[in-house]
Structure 1
Amino acid sequence: MTGPDAVPALGITLVIGATGTTGSRTAARLTAAGHAVRAASRKAAPVPGAEPVRFDWYDPGSHPAGLDGVDRVYVIPPVGDPDPAAVVLPFLRRARAAGVRRAVLLSASSIPEGGPAVGQVHAALPGIFDEWAVLRPSWFMQNFTGDHPHATGIRTEGLIRTAAGTGRVGFVDAEDIAAVAFHALTDDRAPDTDLVLTGPEPLGYDDIATVITEVTGRPVAHRPLSYEELRDRLAAQMPEEFAAMLADMDRAIAGGAEDRVTDSVQRLTGRPAGSFRALVERELRPLV
């Protein structure tokens, strides 16, 4: 294959969560460039061009088959687990012993190295692998187009509910996250760094609602909630500890914690990050 993402074939790359938002896109980029990919998911679902394998974070017996012959791994920790290090770190040490030499971890912009949850995995990664990278994307633009509660609220009520107030976020397109993951996995030198990934501009939830309304013609509004209202609403859908952590993230947004943009997408991929309006035109307008 020729093109900007074409590189000489490497060993097998294990993509954990290969049917998810960033895993599916990363696996697609790797296979399109001619790389051997093992697509790991709980049901070993087929991924075009990749070898499917069953993988469950909570079933260590499913881990060896995924690692056989692998030299690179894209790590998506278990979603909703307040202590992912308990299952992820033993797997990563096993992976290193099995010959994996590069790991790319998906974390989040809101969680620093050594912070809660996946922040503990981030802190341990350099002690396990010589070649590593941590991707810390901001909130996904696809939260408004896929199966996320925001997208569901838009479709069913025309509402986005948050406790973020007027705080702004550098929302990032999952396609850009996958493009960075591709380079972090395949470039001759791994970034060996902490990469905060954002879109080209910070947007408030009122801005998000306005763009969706303008592009699709479907009225959408942002309905602010208090921290307690959001926490209790989320707790009806997930463990209380995780609901509180998510509500805390919204409270941090309200205080300006995510009001930033970075050039990481441009530096790693050679092209600018995509805008939210472009995402809505691509993924929402055709559905109206």
Structure 2
Amino acid sequence: MTAIGAGSGSGIGTTLVTGATGTTGSRTAAQLTAAGHPARAAGRKAAPVAGAEPVRFDWYDPGTHAAALDGVDRVYVIPPVGDPAPAAVVLPFLRRARAAGVRRAVLLSASSIPEGGPAVGQVHRALPVIFDEWAVLRPSWFMQNFTGDHLHATSIRTEGLIRTAAGTGRVGFVDADDIAAVAVQALTEDRAPDTDLVLTGPEALSYDDIATVITEVTGHPVAHRPLSYEEMRDRLATQMPEEFAAMLAGMDRAVAEGAEDRVTDSVQRLTGRPAGSFRALVERELRLLG
């Protein structure tokens, strides 16, 4: 299958990548520059990312926005992490971006948040009103949650355990590299998707399945320990605000009820190649238990 817009996007202007040091932002900036597309890596510390031009950017400091937008004609929008109402800062920025000449915006949301839903769902609703060219990426849970700095990864390394309130529910875990690849296509192809895209990996896996794959590939025993919603909420509340802990535990409960048990072909359709599997990711990142 040929990727949508394959070979297109020649002569595009600079893409501003917000959250450029994060999981998908860093990968998107790197893939853009590797493909020869000019990119500006926006972050609070203006750190260089894989050849992208660094620029200081803080969602909560409008004084940093004009310089970040100078000469930009498209933007990858990663809302501020942990903000329960990101529309309050993201929408004014997007309106300013449009007035400054930005033609296309690609927003990172989540599979669990529909248009008009809470938090970033409000930004999703407004995006096509502000921009004629747009896309909303709604990835499922990141595979990198088990290999990076996430609570699951830490627990795997220190205890050989994954604790969730998801029961036997399954999730179409997706590789962040694939999310970035879709973002690059949505940003650079001649025609914007002008829709939202639910992104998953090639199969839906339970947390028991995840533990089994890690055990088989690494040789280190890992087990899934199911918790109740209340146990998960209270455990998380020792490490974050109670409201956020309750939301995350609630997302696990939704998984247990089947909310994320789905697989889409969005990665294949946008990039022209199959989504990567979790086993392939673990084989690639054997250091996850190091």
1:167-204 alpha-carbon deviations (Å, 9 max, x no partner): 00000000100000000000000000010000000000
Q: For residue 133 of structure 1, what is the aligned residue in structure 2?
A: 135
* Contact 2:8 2:190 (8 Å CA) reproduced: no
Aligned to 1:251: 253
How far is the alpha carbon of 1:5 from its aligned partner? 6.9
Structure 2 matches for 1:1-288, cutoff 5 A? Answer: 7-284=9-286
Instruction: Write the letter of the residue equivalent to 2:128.
Output: P
What is the number of residues matched between the two proteins? Answer: 285
Gap change, CA 1:63 and 1:177, over 3 Å in 2: same
Deviation by residue 1:36-57 (Cα, 9 ceiling, x = unmatched): 1110011111112111011111
Partner residue in 1 for 2:3: none
The 3-state SS of whatever aligns with 1:105 is strand
SS of the residue corresponding to residue 191 of structure 1 reads coil
3-state SS of the aligned residue for 2:101? coil
Conserved in 1, the CA contact under 8 Å of 2:178 and 2:276? yes
Give per-residue Cα distances to partners, 1:121-180, cap 9 Å, x unaligned: 001111100000000000000000000000000001101010000000000000100000
How far does residue 6 in structure 1 lie from its aligned partner after superposition?
Answer: 8.0
Rounded to whole Å, the distance in 2 between the matches of 1:157 and 1:114 is 39
Tell me, which stretches of 5 or more residues in structure 1 are unaligned? none
Per chain length, whose mean CA-contact separation is higher, i.e. which structure has more relative contact order (CA < 8 Å, sep 6+)? 2
Q: Deviations over 1:71-91 (max 9, x none)?
A: 000000011111111111111
C-alpha distance in 1 between matches for 2:167 and 2:259: 12
For residues 194 and 243 of structure 2, the distance between their equivalents in structure 1, rounded to whole angstroms, comes to 32
Residue identity (%)? 87
Write the distance in 1 (CA, Å) between the matches of 2:9 and 2:100.
25
* Equivalent AA in structure 1 for residue 80 of structure 2: P
Distance 1:58 1:234 in 2: 26
Say what the alpha-carbon RMSD is for the aligned residues.
Answer: 1.3
SS at match of 1:190: coil
TM-score normalised by L of structure 2:
0.96
Q: Give the conservation status (yes or no) of the 8 Å contact 1:105–1:122.
A: yes
The alpha-carbon deviation at position 9 of structure 1 amounts to 3.4
Specify the code of the residue in structure 2 equivalent to 1:75.
V
- Give the distance between the partners of 1:23 and 1:73, measured in 2 at CA: 11
* Residues 223-250 of structure 1: CA deviation (Å, up to 9, x unaligned): 1111111111212222222111111110
- SS of equivalent residue, structure 1 residue 10: coil
**Counterpart AA for 1:148:** H
Unaligned 5+ segments in structure 2 are 1-5
C-alpha displacement at 1:287, in angstroms? Answer: 6.3
Spell out structure 1 runs of 4+ moving beyond 3 A: 4-7, 285-288
Whether contact under 8 Å (1:198, 1:265) holds in the other structure is: yes
Amino acid aligned to 1:149: L
- TM-score normalized by structure 1? 0.96
